Amino acid sequence: MAGYLVEDTRKVTTLRLQEMKEKGEKIAMLTVYDYTMARILDDAGLDAVLIGDSAANVMAGYTTTLPMTIDHMIYHASSVVRGVKRALVVCDMPFGTYQVNPTEGVKNAIRIMQESGCDALKLEGGIEIIEIVKRIIEAGIPVMGHLGLTPQSINKFGTFGVRAKDEAEAKKLLSDAHALEEAGCFAITLEKIPAKLAGKVSEELRIPIIGIGAGSEVDGQVLVVQDMLGMTKGFNPKFLRKYEDLYGRIVDGVGNYITDVKQVTFPSKDEGY
């Protein structure tokens, strides 16, 4: 099996990710939403997994992440936690659960931690959510920031296109990243921004920067697992490298099953009782 050889079998913590940045070791992260896939990804040796609210798209077929609720996220995250031994498990706080006020945000953050058993939370936004980020961290919960394309604000942006291409937005993103670091975030995800800007953020900040569509000059990468395994047919953004064609392989496998059932070559005598 072509897995990545993991010598350090200790549970990955936020501190370990920090050490990896300091040593120049890149961080490999993928999204995951269920127990079976979580076991496979953890066995393969990933450093971190994200229960992204992209579950709305890949698991539930919605066009945005906005329909995800706290109950949906807890269901997905607790399933993943049961399948993971080593990787750091980060869960997205879904839309509407931290934007109203800090008290409600902290209450929801504690609920996700308690009911899912995940290790950390991810929140989208910069200076506008800084008070809630601080309060959640004060409650003892590690927070990962998320800047650039923040899909929970898709209706404000009106496009899934590349963010921070102009100077003003790039300047705001850089100051948001500094604010998140000062607030105590252990890492930041940068989504779909110019590679040069992402590299600058990674260079200026002490904490790890994890990119998706943000080039190679960051401290790690995250992709949606169904996208990189080639299960989401027709989704081909420039930043996505497909490591498998599971869509095609599953269609072939299921096609063979259909043929066997129709031709009564399955089950055989040995496959019965």
**C-alpha neighbours within 13 Å on the C-beta side of residue 265:** 6
Reduced to 3 states (helix: H, G, I; strand: E, B; else coil), residue 135 is: helix
Q: Is residue 17 at the binding interface for ligand KIV, with CB under 6 A as the rule?
A: no
Shortest reach from residue 50's CB to ligand KIV, in Å: 6
Identified binder of ligand KIV from the candidate list 42, 47, 53, 227, rule CB under 6 A: 53
Shortest reach from residue 151's CB to ligand KIV, in Å: 7
Among 224, 229, 204, smallest CA distance to 213 is for 224
Residue type present at position 172:
K
Reduced to 3 states (helix: H, G, I; strand: E, B; else coil), residue 33 is: coil
Q: Which is nearer to ligand KIV, 38 or 212 (CB)?
A: 212
**C-alpha neighbours within 13 Å on the C-beta side of residue 25:** 12
The Cα-based distances of 80 to 16, 156, 203, 260 in angstroms read 20, 31, 32, 33
Longest dimension (CA), the chain: 70
Peptide bond before 102: cis, by omega within 30 degrees of 0? no
Which of 191, 203, 244, 271 is labelled catalytic?
A: 191
Q: Which is nearer to ligand KIV, 83 or 148 (CB)?
A: 148
Q: Which is nearer to ligand KIV, 54 or 232 (CB)?
A: 54
Q: Is residue 38 at the binding interface for ligand KIV, with CB under 6 A as the rule?
A: no
Question: Could you tell me which stretch among 2-10, 51-59, 72-80, 129-137 binds ligand KIV (CB under 6 A)?
Answer: 51-59
Q: Is residue 212 at the binding interface for ligand KIV, with CB under 6 A as the rule?
A: yes
Among 126, 172, 111, 120, smallest CA distance to 144 is for 120
The pattern of x and - marking residues 59 through 98 that bind ligand KIV according to CB under 6 A reads: ---------------------------------x------
Q: Which is nearer to ligand KIV, 12 or 212 (CB)?
A: 212
Q: Is residue 189 at the binding interface for ligand KIV, with CB under 6 A as the rule?
A: yes
Q: Is residue 47 at the binding interface for ligand KIV, with CB under 6 A as the rule?
A: no
CA dihedral 18, 3, 42, 247 (to 10 degrees): 120
Q: Which is nearer to ligand KIV, 155 or 268 (CB)?
A: 155
Q: Is residue 224 at the binding interface for ligand KIV, with CB under 6 A as the rule?
A: yes
Q: Is residue 54 at the binding interface for ligand KIV, with CB under 6 A as the rule?
A: yes
Shortest reach from residue 11's CB to ligand KIV, in Å: 22
Among 85, 72, 87, smallest CA distance to 33 is for 72
* 191 catalytically annotated: yes
Cα(first)–Cα(last) distance of the chain, in Å?
32
Residues forming the active site? 191
The footprint of ligand KIV (CB under 6 A) covers 31, 50, 52-54, 92, 189, 191, 212, 222, 224
